[in-house]
Structures are given as C-alpha cells and as structure tokens.
Amino acid sequence: MHDQSDIHRCLATFCLFGRQTVLQGTKGIPTYINEFWTSKQRQANSLHEIAYRACFKPQLPRFFIERLTAPGDVVYDPFMGRGTTLLESALLGRIPYGCDVNPLSDILTRPRLNPPYLAQVQERLAEINLSRCQHYSQELEVFYHPETLTAICALREYLLDREQQGTIDDVDRWIRMVAVNRLTGHSQGFFSVYTLPPNQAVSIDSQRKINERLGQTPPRRDVREIILRKTRALLRDCGERVCHMLQTVSPHARILTAQAHHTPQIPDGSVHLVVTSPPFLDVVDYAQDNWLRCWFCGIDPQSVPITIVSSVDEWREAMREVFKELARVLVRGGWIAFEVGEVRGGRVRLEEVVLQAVQGLPLVPEAIVINDQRFTKTAHIWGVQNQAKGTNTNRIVLLRRE
C-alpha cells in the first residue's frame, strides 16, 4: 500500500480491535484517533527483548511497514536507539537502515540482525577465562560481588582486546550485547545487586545509598549462566523461517554511528519508509543512563554528541535539519512516520512543531495518527483530562515525499 488515498482509507476505516476511528484535524491535517496497535496483538518476536530507555513497541513500526512498503524495500530509522525499527523491518523482509549518534545503538542492534546459535554462544563462553582480569574496577563493588566483578572485567578485557585486534566476530558481538543488557537490574537475571531497571544505571554514590537503605550486599552471580539464560530467551522465536529471513536481508543492512542530519553514506533516493522517534525535550539523560554500559564497551560517554535541547524553538530547528536529510534520502512518494509522543503532560504538542519544521521542504504532511490503547473520550486524548503524567498514547506525524 503506497498510495496516499489508500493509507487515508485504511486509517479512517480501521476497526481491527473493535473501535471506530475518530477523525479530527490539526492545523488542517487529518488526525486519525483509534487503537491501531495494541497489547491484544500477538507478542513481538523475542529478539526485541532488549531494554533501552524511551523506546517504542515493535507493533508501531510494523503497522506502517506492512502498509507503506513491500518486501525488499528499505526502511530507515535515523534515531534507532535499540534498533526496534531495524529488527522489525528485517523480520518483515525489508532492508534495515539505521543511524544513531550513540555507539551503543550499533552494539545493541547489529547482533540481533544476525543472531548466532545457542551452541555457538555456549562454546565461546567456555573458551573465555573469566577467573582473572588485569584491571579490577573496585569502585563497582557497590553493584557486584567481587567474583562477579572479576568475571565482568575479564569479559570486558577479552571483548575490547578482540575489537582492537580486529578479530571480534558475530558471536563475540552477541555476547557483548547480552552482557551490556545484563549489567544492572532488579532481579536475579542480572549481574548486579538490586538496583534500577537495566535501561537506567544509577551512579556509584546512589547505588551505595540504595544498598544502605535496603541493607543489601551484592550476591555472587554466574556471568556465563546469565548470558546463556538471556540468549535462550532472545532466541526463543528464532525458528528456521525467521533465521532464513534475517540471513537474507542482514547482508544489505546499513548501520551508522553519526548525526541524523548528516548521513552521506546513505544514497539519494534510496529509502522507502522512515519510522523513527527522535529525542524529545530534555526529558531523558542518555549519557547518565548509559555510563556503565559505556564503561563496559570502552566508550567515553562525554564524547557522544547527543542532542538534548530544552526549548521548543531549538528542537524545531534541530528537527528541520534532520528533515532536510530525510527528504534527500527518500524516494519520491516515500514516507516518514515520525513519532513524537507527548511531552510535559500534554502541554507541548510536538506534532504541531513538526508541521512547522517541514514547511518549505518537499515533505507533505498527510496525517497525524494517534494510537491510544485506553481510548474513552476524544478530549482525554488531547490532554484535557489526560490519564496520567506523561502519556499512554503514540502520536505520529505521517509525511510523504513529493
């Protein structure tokens, strides 16, 4: 489904989950309100189960990929985060392109486009000596039992050495991805003592206070077993059909660590659909959340030029530069599904700011799509009586390249 009239018809008549679409307008743009994807749908593929701050559900990109592209088309996310759009695109037989200024995005995304077999991971882990390390980071004992921390430091040194020598392979990358995702958390499935969820590492001082308040000391964890357990969970849905699909498209994938407004590696007119969610207004401190992951991967978090803006005007100008680049890489007739969520309790409607940002560019605002899973009255969706601080909705601006 590529024609603009088709997508309008689809949105207007959508009733898969028993609700009728409400049609409104935003600055003259048709605004469709319904439950377009929902928790009632089948669960997403197990490969998605990697925690990352401020990521959307796989059902969001799937909705637009299925309706606006065909197998073999290129789907791109310029703010790819944990790679949800890329992975869902690959699972649907599309070619995944992605970009993020944070090098952790590549580390979390690339291995899941070409997952190894469990036996390969098991064999590799058995080969790595986790009983000794050259550099023991004692200050991290607030998170880890000394034996666990030794194993983590040894695994870190092994991976950094392999990367430096240029011998790191897909199995190593998978182990690194899983280890990064198991560094800290709030259950026995993580390397650490009880702390915040895995997408949000607290500081050493904050963890020390948590330990004192709860009267806890870090228990010994089996690093190998935790990595294998998480690997089993991630590969749960990787049957023959899924593996074949990923093996078919992953050689054509492009993953960049770069600023979204400057991606010369992506050819003009090569992308059929963009599905993305950009950084919002200074609501998430990515560098602070990821400091421990960066340590493990040998990344200086201060060197990552993540854009955090506090004013609507700054955000609009930053996004305008991104839209210029997206207009360049899109094919004529290609689409952008630009998810802007809801900011500051509904007082800032970024969908309206997006409409301002694309003025004068060859990008036509076709629709605003509002997905709400507990839709009651239209007024609730528009923030008049919002359900809670933050949002239970997705707000997507749908743009078409002229």
What's the pLDDT tens digit per position in 330-386?
999 999 999 997 655 566 788 999 999 999 999 999 999 999 865 444 434 444 333
pLDDT in the model for residue 385: 39
Task: Please check whether residue 211 is in contact with residue 81, taking contact to mean a CB–CB distance below 8 angstroms.
Answer: no
| Contact assessment for residue 392 and residue 372, using Cβ atoms and an 8 Å cutoff | yes
Per-domain boundaries in the chain: 4-105+238-284+305-401, 118-234
Confidence at residue 309, expressed as pLDDT on a 0 to 100 scale: 77
| Top CATH class, 4-105+238-284+305-401 | alpha beta
Q: No. of H helices and E strands in the chain? A: 15, 9
Is residue 177 within 8 A of residue 48, CB to CB? The reply is no
Q: What CA–CA distances, in Å, run from 300 to 81, 103, 168, 279, 288?
A: 18, 10, 20, 20, 12
Residue 343: DSSP 8-state: B
Q: Measuring CA to CA, which residue among 172, 176, 128 is closest to residue 150?
A: 128
Q: Cα separation of 246 and 108, whole Å?
A: 16
CA distances to 16, 41, 82, 253, 391 from 44, in Å: 17, 8, 15, 21, 21
**92-96, 287-291, 310-314, 398-402: least confidently modelled range:** 287-291
> Whose CA is closest to 30, among 335, 396, 402?
396
Neighbours of 249 (CB within 10 A): 21
Cα 313 from Cα 281, distance rounded (Å)? 10
Confidence category of residue 287, pLDDT binned at 50, 70, 90: low
> How much is the pLDDT for 14?
94
Q: Are strands 29-34 and 22-26 parallel, antiparallel or unpaired?
A: antiparallel
Per-residue pLDDT band at 388 (split at 50, 70, 90)? very low
pLDDT in tens, 54-88: 678 899 999 999 999 999 999 999 999 999 999 99
> Which of 133-147, 158-172, 341-355 is predicted with the least confidence, judged by mean pLDDT?
341-355
Band of residue 39 on the pLDDT scale cut at 50, 70, 90: low
pLDDT at 55: 73
Would strands 393-401 and 254-257 be described as parallel, antiparallel, or unpaired? Answer: unpaired
Q: 19-32: buried (b, 16+ CB within 10 Å) or exposed (e) per residue?
A: eebbeeebeebbbb
**Which residues, in sequence order, are bridge partners of residue 26?**
29
- Calculate the average pLDDT of the chain: 90
Average confidence (pLDDT) over 163-172? 98
Tell me the torsion sign for CA atoms 142, 147, 148, 154.
Answer: positive
Query: What percent of the chain lies above the pLDDT cut of 90?
Result: 76
Pairing relationship of beta strands 393-401 and 330-339 according to DSSP bridges: antiparallel
Residue 196 has a pLDDT of: 83
The mean per-residue pLDDT over the stretch 284-308 comes to 81
Residue 391: pLDDT over 60: no
Please give the model's pTM, rounded to 2 decimal places: 0.92
The answer to whether residues 37 and 57 touch, using CB atoms and an 8 Å cutoff, is yes
* Torsion from C-alpha of 271, 57, 55, 243, nearest 10 degrees: -60
Q: With a cut of 60, say whether residue 389 has pLDDT above it.
A: no
Tokens for 393, please give them: 């909705």
pLDDT confidence of 197, banded at 50, 70, 90?
confident
Q: In 92-145, which residue ranges form alpha helices assigned H by DSSP?
A: 103-113, 118-127
* Euclidean distance between the first and the last CA atom of the chain, given in angstroms as a whole number: 17
pLDDT at 8 over 90: yes
d(C-alpha 400, C-alpha 278), whole Å: 18
Please report which residue ranges of 276-349 form alpha helices under DSSP H. Answer: 286-289, 291-297, 312-329
Least confident of 70-79, 178-187, 390-399: 390-399
Q: If you average pLDDT over each of 4-18, 114-128, 194-208, 382-396, which comes out highest?
A: 114-128
Position with higher pLDDT, 309 vs 155: 155
More confident residue, 376 or 216: 216
Q: What is the pLDDT of residues 40-58, one digit of tens each?
A: 556 789 999 998 776 788 9
Listed range (101-110, 262-271, 310-319, 380-389) with the worst mean pLDDT: 380-389
Distance of CA 349 to the CA centre of its chain: 22
- Inter-residue contact 183 to 292 (CB < 8 Å): yes
